[in-house]
Structure 1
Amino acid sequence: MASEYITIQSKDSGHFRAYLALPPRGIGPGLVLCHEIFGANATMRELAHIYAEEGYVVAVPDLYWREEPGLEFDYTSSDWQHAYRLGEAFDFDLGVEDVGATLDALRERPEVRTETTASMAGRRERPDTPVSAPREPGRGLFGGAGGVFWRGRRSAKESGGAGLGSREGPHDAGLTGPSEREAPGGLSVVGFSLGGRLAYLAACRLEGVSCGVSYYGTGIEDHLDEANHLSGRLVVHLPENDKFVPETGREAIASHFAESRNVEVYRYPRAERGFARRGTDSYNRPAATIAYQRTLGALKREMGPYFDLSRLWDTHLMHTMADKNVDAIMKGLVEAPYLNHVPTRTGGAGKEKVAAFYRDHFIGQMPPDTRLLPLSRTVGATQLVEEALLSFTHSNVIDWLLPGVAPTHRYIEIPLVCVATFRGEKIHRLQTYWDQASVLVQIGRMTADAQPVAGIECARKIVNEDLPSNELIERTPT
């Protein structure tokens, strides 16, 4: 990931540095990250690279330059006390000016797209419209005309319909062409704690801010009247346990924006200030994950970039199930991917372990008669959820599904749910869920009569709603 330090001229003729991280494509909307009281430290630089992977040109300004250029702190007790004193003395009016100067610097860079969604609304595709790109004649997702099943290279005519890789009409994207639609661009500000208040104030005071995102910003409740000047979107993340923002303040913020159409306020039960700060005691993964998804959702709605996650997922399935090409699979993943099959805890973390898993325990272990029937697909800003029906004969060892179990040569059908989280154009996390009890019943390792479980009936009812319900409830308790 390309990065450098740049020098920015302040409104009062001073100069300060900002850390700049560029996206993989080298061009994208602009984003200013405003640091906490700990300065533009390694945590903020790492976060800049994460947002850059999402497709943004990211700048992290040194907002302490007026006190001492280059100040940054760790999270030790002594550093915390020093950082707290600086935060207490911070001049937020000058800070907003420095954020504005950083936005101006981004606006002048050739890598930054600044045309807003509003100015492009009349001439671009909707964000939820697939990419239009040419398809190789006669070729669908797995080599046919768009096969509903994965089964070698079965075609749509053979399987009886359109499916995983096919789209009808003018939005037939196929697997060639760019994965990014025409993206508008813009400039936004995301900030944390001290930077969270700056992000809020910048969205209210500065022109041309597409979206402001505040993570546990202090003192916002004292500036609610400034929201009358908002021209873009605002997102506010409020942890439940925040000793610097009292409950009365959080309630005031939530109540003030309750009817606003361009402001989103989210509350996070049991989360503390700093819940999005990785590597510290305050980090709360569930809260941080959903807050990040909400942040990306707002940023993408206002300024892009828009990636065709459905097409990217189809490509991943093709390389995994049809081509069985580990190198091609890994090219579609981030540098530090996470793979987890939830019922069996098989997979891996990190590129080497994930590649080894695909090579040694997945590719080549799917039985010859394997079929994958897609049932539904839900696509969000950063995630894709696929519901599918997997069927096969257990004719060989399948490490990821039945580790340590010899082939039983029984036919099995399993409803699957795959959750793929993307970072930009690449898969970051992939988790797959299924009912392992149903699998064990089908291979004879568990007796359905003695347990509140079912076998192949679970899969059959997924595709046939007319099958009876509540049969387990109607059993006589034992």
Structure 2
Amino acid sequence: MADRIDIPTADGPMPAYRFLPEAGTGPGIVLFQEIFGVSDYIKIRAADLAALGYVVIVPEIYWRLDDSEIDESSDGMLQQAMGLMSQLDWPTTVGDGVASVAAARTDEHVDGGVGVFGFCFGGGLAFNVAASTDVDVLVSYYGSALPNLLDLAGDVTAPSLHHFGTADDYLPMDVVERIRAAVSRDGVRFETYDGAGHAFDNPLPMFHHAAASTAAWRHTLDFLATNFPAKP
């Protein structure tokens, strides 16, 4: 089940969703959105994680922006989303991510540590947040900002899992290999998926790669069970 909460920031309360596991308590995961906002897809993934036993907090990263609702049925969806993302101030956005982790650590339902998890835009944001504050794990799906954040790799000390497709037009394989070289260390898993493009886990037909999505989620479950288990 999900409820609405507010996360304190220097500029006022940031709205967020909180998904609770059946037990009502568990380790915390802060889940960061794609450029399309807190879409139905992101809510489904949040519910999937809650079903595993995690308390999942999903901040509305576009909360400062006007007209931030994205019409997923529109042909201009991608352009609209790119326009919204371009309005964000990155340091402020990272600060909102750090505030989300702090809120999770003090949440009455969180029993255990707090990890960060993100898709696309959110994958890069999760990486930067993990470099900026203590987190227990990091899961990043095709983090789009990572090429510009590699100087932070030494500050990310949590166990980490990165997913990339080999047919990603936005992050071609030479860039993916540069990311791999920068982030690789003990405790880091790096998975690639043949023939998968950017946003391959998103169920929209323009993005979805079923085999890669299934394999990546299987790797994610294994990684979490090993490094950040929820209560059975």
Q: TM-score band (shorter)? A: over 0.9
Which is richer in helix? 2
Is 1:275–1:288's contact at 8 Å kept on the other side of the alignment? yes
Give CA deviations for 1:122-169 in whole Å, capped at 9, x if unaligned: xxxxxxxxxxxxxxxxxxxxxxxxxxxxxxxxxxxxxxxxxxxxxxxx
- Residue 22 of structure 1 and its aligned partner are, at CA, apart by 0.4
* Inter-partner Cα distance in structure 1 for 2:64 and 2:142: 24
* Inter-partner Cα distance in structure 2 for 1:62 and 1:96: 13
Match of 2:3 in 1: 4
Match of 1:240 in 2: 166
Structure 2 residue 144 is the aligned partner of structure 1 residue 218: yes
* Inter-partner Cα distance in structure 2 for 1:47 and 1:223: 25
* Inter-partner Cα distance in structure 1 for 2:96 and 2:13: 10
**Pick from 185, 191, 204: which aligns with 2:131?**
204
**Pick from 7, 32, 35: which aligns with 2:33?**
35
Structure 2 residue 210 is the aligned partner of structure 1 residue 285: yes
- Residue 70 of structure 1 and its aligned partner are, at CA, apart by 5.9
Q: Structure 1: any 5+ residue segments left out of the alignment?
A: 115-185, 308-478
- Residue 69 of structure 1 and its aligned partner are, at CA, apart by 7.5
Tell me the secondary structure at the aligned position of residue 301 of structure 1.
helix
- Residue 196 of structure 1 and its aligned partner are, at CA, apart by 0.9
Is 2:127–2:156's contact at 8 Å kept on the other side of the alignment? no
Counterpart residue identity of residue 7, structure 2 = I
1:304-383 equivalent positions in 2, closer than 5 A: 304-307=229-232
Could you tell me the TM-score, scaled by structure 1's length?
A: 0.47
Counterpart residue identity of residue 206, structure 1 = T
Give CA deviations for 1:14-59 in whole Å, capped at 9, x if unaligned: 2211011100111111011111111012211122111110111011
* Inter-partner Cα distance in structure 1 for 2:73 and 2:114: 30
Is 2:147–2:175's contact at 8 Å kept on the other side of the alignment? yes
Tell me the secondary structure at the aligned position of residue 48 of structure 2.
helix
* Inter-partner Cα distance in structure 1 for 2:226 and 2:71: 34
* Inter-partner Cα distance in structure 2 for 1:75 and 1:187: 34
Is 2:201–2:210's contact at 8 Å kept on the other side of the alignment? yes
Is 1:64–1:71's contact at 8 Å kept on the other side of the alignment? no
Match of 2:153 in 1: 227
Match of 1:48 in 2: 46
Higher mean alpha-carbon deviation, 83-92 vs 97-106, is at 83-92
- Residue 306 of structure 1 and its aligned partner are, at CA, apart by 5.0
Could you tell me the TM-score, scaled by structure 2's length?
A: 0.93
**Pick from 271, 279, 298: which aligns with 2:196?**
271
- Residue 301 of structure 1 and its aligned partner are, at CA, apart by 2.4
1:377-456 equivalent positions in 2, closer than 5 A: none
Is 2:117–2:123's contact at 8 Å kept on the other side of the alignment? yes
Structure (1 or 2) with the larger CA radius of gyration: 1
Match of 1:347 in 2: none
* Inter-partner Cα distance in structure 2 for 1:203 and 1:194: 14
Tell me the secondary structure at the aligned position of residue 38 of structure 2.
coil
Aligned pairs, how many? Answer: 232
Deviating above 6 A after TM superposition, structure 1's stretches of 4 or more consecutive aligned residues are none
* Structure number with higher relative contact order (C-alpha < 8 Å, ≥ 6 residues apart): 2
Structure 2 residue 89 is the aligned partner of structure 1 residue 91: yes
Tell me the secondary structure at the aligned position of residue 214 of structure 1.
strand
* Inter-partner Cα distance in structure 2 for 1:296 and 1:108: 25
Tell me the secondary structure at the aligned position of residue 241 of structure 1.
coil
Give CA deviations for 1:90-125 in whole Å, capped at 9, x if unaligned: 3222122111111111211221013xxxxxxxxxxx
Give CA deviations for 1:227-252 in whole Å, capped at 9, x if unaligned: 11123111111111222213321110
Is 2:26–2:111's contact at 8 Å kept on the other side of the alignment? yes
- Residue 284 of structure 1 and its aligned partner are, at CA, apart by 1.4
**Pick from 70, 79, 84: which aligns with 2:77?**
79
Is 1:189–1:211's contact at 8 Å kept on the other side of the alignment? yes
- Residue 224 of structure 1 and its aligned partner are, at CA, apart by 1.6
Tell me the secondary structure at the aligned position of residue 195 of structure 2.
strand
* Inter-partner Cα distance in structure 2 for 1:13 and 1:69: 19
Counterpart residue identity of residue 8, structure 1 = I
